[in-house]
């Protein structure tokens, strides 16, 4: 019987899951990630543990990583709502973290900021095919003149990418030319850019992050962890239909949707056509490191609403804000739940599109921007906050607000299997879906 | 051939003329970026920047053209495409008013050409080719 080993090299823990070829999890182990010395130390520690548990050696290893800062990128477009947004969606869709998005010409402050942020990869877009070429070329020039070489994905107007590549290559940048993220106005095409980001990640970033040895032992390319989660959701959506997943973390809340792109009859779409599989990341919405901005967005009074003893919750909140490592005190889980609920609500509303009703003497017209998630039937919660909550349903259940799903079935990734299953989604989709079925619990 | 941005401005939903214009200008060899009805000034300007359009063709049929079109030239100037050709046509004002004052009002707003109700696309196509210096 074959044994597959699925590794998630996280920022703090390296987690290994072994599954057999029926899709059952036969062993799990984790060890602290050892990014400061050699990533293999922590990996090997977890590996020997998992082999002992499984009683045999694995046949194939697959891995994803978010260690050493994950894949951190900068996106540049021309008009922020157009190629700027398209570039951002491409970067998020590749599983990367977006450090910044710039529009129009990069000025000296932007260049300085890029130099100090030192992204792993920069995605440079701008202009439709046959459209504007000036901004892409000028931005390539500005980068070439003032920024130390870095890997660049060129995903702008096809009439300028080759010239931009020459400018950057002459300055020592490694460049991959790819399809335009917005070949025609409001038409998104982010798949080619995602592919190129994966290529540059493997060619340049894996080594820089000390993961070359690990990478060589793998049956498939190492990918960023969010890319594995995206793949798991995609597989699931192909089986059960349109779905929405939300992962509430300490620093960010990630939302993944599959579907919600059709324009309902009687509505009219304006702006960019959203991608079928879309990932957004709310960097100011999280349970610990982004707690103060979460509370600010949600409103303190809403967080403290229904508190049996408001003062007690208020004090607890202050303690958590002061030391983000802190676990919520026993008996006050309701506070944690309210915070998580707010994180889910805010992040889903930002992920969803909006409808604006325009009245005319002959009746109303509904103008849709972004995704209409109302017809989505399944919402899945991911992450420790929900798995450890006594009442995950209370975190995920939303009112029928805006364009959020209407009365969906709520599910929980009860065994933290998303990333691991995503690693097998390409090579062994049958096993991956069994792993998912086994972990997903209807709430 | 040149790229043009086309759309019906403001809260106007008259779609038929817009489709005819798209068809006619495409047939005449232009690359037409049609934003359709209910188009805001900002959408016109952003589309023109991203696609490097040579002209913006604005339609207004429902009588609120004056309010909707005011400030479009200024917005283009702000956005760095102050030189772009701006055309406007349709039923620009409420009811049947004398044409010359209407035309002059829109010219003063910064439109390069203003077309009276019922203008045939061919007339505008010929003038646009002339203004852009293409044949
Ligand atoms: C069909 C119609 C509607 C339909 C539109 C359906 C749709 N989805 O398109 C509905 C019922 C929704 C409608 C609603 C309204 N309508 Co209406 N509608 C008409 C009608 C009968 C025909 C319009 C049409 O399609 N014409 C055919 C096309 C091919 O012509 P066109 O639109 O004029 O466009 C051509 C030219 O003008 C020119 N052109 C247009 N734009 C530009 C721009 C440039 C740069 C150039 C070069 C040329 C150019 O080229 C086009 C192609 O040849 C006209 C009356 C009429 N006979 O024109 C009234 C009319 C336009 N409507 C009118 C009004 C007032 C309204 C309403 C406000 C209320 C009402 N009374 O019904 C609402 C407004 C809704 C809104 N928010 O926009 C008035 C406008 C009056 C004014 N400007 O002073 C008109 C003129 C009727 C009238 N005589 O009162 N309407």
A333 in any annotated domain? no
Structural contact between residues A373 and A426, judged by C-beta atoms closer than 8 angstroms: no
Phi/psi of residue A20, nearest 5 degrees: -90, -175
Is residue A167 within 8 angstroms of chain B, CB to CB? no
**Average pLDDT, integer, range A367-377:** 95
DSSP 8-class letter at A361:
T
The answer to whether position A319 is within a domain reads: no
Same domain, A8 and A133: no
What mean pLDDT is predicted for residues A161-170? 98
Q: Answer yes or no: do A63 and A78 share one domain.
A: no
Do A37 and A172 fall within a single domain? no
ipTM for the predicted complex comes to 0.85
pLDDT of residue B10: 93
Residue A54 shares a structural domain with residue A130: no
Domain that holds residue A35: 3-68+209-216
Ligand 1 pocket test, pick from B8, B62, B94 with the greatest ligand atom count within 8 Å of Cβ, gives B62
Answer yes or no: do A109 and A55 share one domain.
no
- φ/ψ (deg, to 5) at A347: -70, -40
> What is the per-residue pLDDT across B9-31, written as a single tens digit (0 to 9) for each?
999 999 999 999 999 999 999 99
In three-state form (DSSP H/G/I as H, E/B as E, the rest C), the secondary structure along A128-163 is CCCCCCHHHHHHHHHHHHHCCCCCEEECCCCCCHHH
Does the residue A313 lie in any domain? no
DSSP string, A362-423: TEEEEEEES---TT--EEEEESHHHHT-S-HHHHH---S-TTSPSSPEEEEETT--HHHHHH
Instruction: List Cβ neighbours of A209 (8 Å cut-off, separation of 6 or more).
Output: A35, A39, A65, A67, A68
> pLDDT tens for residues B98-118?
999 999 999 999 999 999 998
Pick from A81, A131, A135 the residue to mutate for testing the B interface (most B CBs within 10 Å).
Answer: A131
Whether B126 lines ligand 1, by a CB cut-off of 6 Å, is: no
What are A132-163's pLDDT values in tens digits? 999 999 999 999 999 999 999 999 999 999 99
Looking at the domain assignment, is residue A312 inside a domain?
no
Q: Tell whether A353 and A244 lie within a shared domain.
A: yes
Q: Quick check: CB of B20 below 6 Å from ligand 1?
A: yes
The confidence score (pLDDT) of residue A330 equals 87
Are A400 and A271 found together in one domain?
yes
Contacts of B24 (CB under 8 A, 6+ apart): B121, B122, B125
Mean pLDDT, chain A, rounded, equals 94
Q: What is the pLDDT of residue A12?
A: 87
CA–CA min distance B52, chain A (Å): 5
Residue A305 has pLDDT above 90, yes or no: no
- Give the residue extent of every domain in chain B: 3-132
| Ligand 1: nearest atom to the Cα of B117 | 37
Q: What are phi and psi of B58, to 5 degrees?
A: -105, 135
Give the ligand 1 atom nearest the CA of B64.
83
A–B CB contacts, 8 A cutoff, strictly below:
54
User: What total number of domains does chain A contain?
Assistant: 3
Work out the end-to-end distance of chain A between its first and last CA atoms, rounded to an integer number of angstroms. 34
> What are the chain B neighbours of A132 within 8 Å (beta carbons)?
49-52
Shared-domain flag, residues A21 and A109: no
pLDDT in tens, B51-97: 999 999 999 999 999 999 999 999 999 888 999 999 999 999 888 88
Residues in chain B, how many?
Answer: 135
What's chain A's length in residues? 443
pTM of the model: 0.91
The pLDDT, as a whole number, for residue A362 is: 66
Question: pLDDT for A206-257, tens place per residue?
Answer: 888 888 999 999 999 999 999 999 999 999 999 999 999 999 999 999 999 9
| CATH number reported for the structural domain that contains residue A128 in this entry | 3.40.50.2300
Whole-angstrom Cα distance, residue B47 to residue A403?
26
Interface contact B50-A79, CB threshold 8 A: yes
Instruction: For residues A87 and A58, state if they share a domain.
Output: no
- Could you write out the three-class secondary structure of A183-217? CECCECCCHHHHHHHHHHHHHHHHHHCCCHHHHHC
Q: Is the pLDDT of residue A361 over 70?
A: no
Supply φ then ψ for residue B77, to 5 degrees.
-60, -50
CA distance B80 to chain A (A): 10
* Closest-CA residue to A114 (of A89, A83, A158, A144): A144
**Å between B50 CA and nearest CA of chain A:** 5
Helices (H), A283-332: 291-298, 300-304, 310-322
Q: How far apart are CA A97 and CA A120, in angstroms?
A: 10
Residue A375 CB coordination number (10 Å):
15
Element (H, E) at B63: none
A65: confidence class by pLDDT, cuts 50, 70, 90: very high
Q: Which residue, judged by its Cα, is nearest atom 11 of ligand 1?
A: A362
The pLDDT score that the predictor gives to residue A198 is 94
Assess whether pLDDT exceeds 80 at residue B135: no
Query: Between vectors from CA A370 to CA A429 and to CA A193, what angle results, nearest 5°?
Result: 55
Q: What distance in Å separates residue A131's CA from the closest CA in chain B?
A: 4
Q: Once rounded to an integer, what is the mean pLDDT over residues A35-51?
A: 92
User: If you take atom 72 of ligand 1, which residue's CA is the nearest one?
Assistant: A362
Measure CB to CB from residue A128 to each of B13, B38, B50 and give the nearest one.
B50
Which tokens hold the place of A352? 């969803």
CB A124 within 8 A of CB A76: yes
A65 SS3 class = strand
Name the strands in the sheet holding B31-34, side by side, starting at the edge strand that comes first in the sequence: B31-34, B3-8, B55-60, B85-90, B113-114
pLDDT of residue A72: 95
- Whether A132 and B52 lie within 8 Å, measured CB to CB: yes
Q: Do A270 and A397 fall into the same domain?
A: yes
Note whether residue A332 is domain-resident.
Answer: no
**What percent of chain A lies above the pLDDT cut of 70?**
99
- The whole-number pLDDT of residue A17 equals 96
- Domain B3-132: CATH architecture, name and number where available: 3-Layer(aba) Sandwich (3.40)
The answer for residues whose C-beta is within 8 angstroms of residue A352's C-beta and 6 or more apart is A260, A370, A371, A372, A373, A402, A403, A404
Measured CB to CB, residues of chain B less than 8 Å from chain A are: 3, 11, 13, 31, 33, 35-38, 43, 46-47, 49-53, 62
Interchain contact A366–B (C-beta under 8 A): no
End-to-end C-alpha distance for chain B, whole angstroms: 9
- Same-domain check for residues A436 and A402: yes
* Residue A81 sits at the chain B interface (C-beta within 8 Å): yes
Inform me whether the pLDDT recorded for A29 exceeds 70: yes
Flag the least confident range among A144-153, A217-226, A362-371, A434-443.
Answer: A362-371
Query: What sign for the dihedral angle of Cα B16, B120, B21, B53?
Result: negative
Q: pLDDT, tens digit, for every residue of A71-126?
A: 999 999 999 999 999 999 999 999 999 999 999 999 999 999 999 999 999 999 99
Identify the CATH number of the domain in which residue A48 sits: 3.30.420.40
Confidence band of A46 (pLDDT split at 50, 70, 90): very high
Residue A295, token pair as written in the block: 């509370």
Of the residues B50, B54, B61, B62, the best mutation for testing chain A's interface (the one with the most A CB atoms within 10 Å of its CB) is B50
Examine the domain organization and report whether A59 and A123 are in the same domain. no
pLDDT at A332: 87
């Amino acid at each position: 019987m074959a044994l597959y080993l699925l590794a998630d090299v996280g920022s703090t823990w390296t987690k290994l899951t072994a599954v057999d070829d029926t899709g059952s999890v036969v062993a799990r182990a984790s060890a602290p990630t050892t990014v400061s010395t050699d990533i293999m130390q922590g990996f090997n520690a977890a590996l020997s543990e998992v082999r002992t548990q499984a009683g045999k050696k694995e046949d194939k290893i697959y891995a994803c990583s978010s260690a050493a800062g994950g894949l951190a990128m900068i996106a540049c477009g021309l008009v922020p709502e157009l190629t700027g947004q398209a570039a951002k969606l491409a970067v998020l869709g590749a599983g990367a973290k977006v450090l910044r998005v710039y529009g129009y010409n990069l000025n000296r402050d932007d260049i300085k900021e890029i130099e100090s942020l030192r992204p792993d990869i920069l995605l440079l877009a701008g202009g439709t095919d046959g459209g504007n070429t000036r901004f892409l070329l000028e931005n390539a020039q500005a980068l070439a003149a003032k920024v130390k070489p870095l890997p660049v994905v060129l995903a702008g107007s096809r009439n300028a990418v080759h010239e931009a590549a020459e400018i950057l290559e002459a300055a020592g940048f490694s460049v991959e030319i790819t399809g335009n993220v917005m070949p025609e106005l409001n038409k998104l095409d982010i798949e080619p850019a995602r592919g190129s980001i994966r290529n540059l990640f493997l060619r340049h970033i894996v080594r820089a992050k000390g993961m070359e040895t690990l990478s060589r032992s793998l049956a498939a390319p190492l990918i960023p962890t969010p890319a594995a989660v995206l793949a798991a959701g995609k597989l699931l959506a192909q089986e059960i239909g349109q779905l929405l997943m939300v992962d509430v973390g300490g620093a960010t809340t990630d939302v993944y949707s599959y579907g919600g792109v059709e324009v309902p009859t009687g509505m009219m779409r304006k702006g960019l056509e959203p991608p079928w599989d879309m990932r957004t990341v709310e960097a100011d919405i999280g349970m610990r490191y982004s707690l103060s901005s979460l509370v600010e967005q949600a409103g303190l009074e809403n967080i403290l609403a229904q508190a049996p003893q408001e003062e007690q919750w208020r004090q607890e909140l202050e303690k958590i804000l002061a030391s983000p490592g802190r676990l919520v005190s026993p008996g006050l889980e309701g506070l944690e739940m309210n915070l998580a609920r707010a994180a889910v609500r805010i992040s889903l509303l930002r992920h969803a599109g909006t409808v604006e009703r325009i009245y005319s003497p002959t009746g109303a017209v509904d103008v849709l921007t972004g995704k209409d998630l109302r017809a989505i039937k399944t919402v899945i919660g991911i992450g420790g906050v929900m798995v450890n909550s006594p009442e995950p349903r209370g975190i995920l259940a939303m009112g029928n607000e805006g364009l959020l799903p209407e009365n969906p079935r709520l599910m929980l990734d009860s065994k933290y299997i998303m990333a691991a299953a995503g690693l097998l989604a390409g090579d062994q989709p049958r096993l991956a879906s069994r792993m998912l079925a086994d972990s997903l619990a209807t709430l | 051939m040149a790229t043009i941005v086309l759309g019906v401005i403001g809260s106007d939903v008259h779609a038929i003329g817009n489709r005819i214009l798209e068809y006619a200008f495409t047939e005449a060899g232009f690359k037409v970026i049609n934003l359709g009805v209910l188009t805001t000034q900002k959408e016109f300007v952003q589309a023109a920047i991203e696609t490097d359009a040579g002209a913006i063709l604005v339609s207004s049929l429902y009588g609120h053209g004056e309010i909707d079109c005011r400030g479009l030239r200024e917005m283009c100037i702000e956005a760095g495409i102050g030189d772009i050709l701006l055309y406007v046509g349709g039923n620009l004002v409420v009811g049947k008013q004398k044409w010359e004052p209407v035309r002059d009002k829109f010219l003063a707003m910064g439109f390069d050409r203003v077309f009276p109700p019922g203008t045939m696309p061919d007339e505008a196509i010929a003038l646009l080719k002339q203004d852009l210096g293409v044949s």
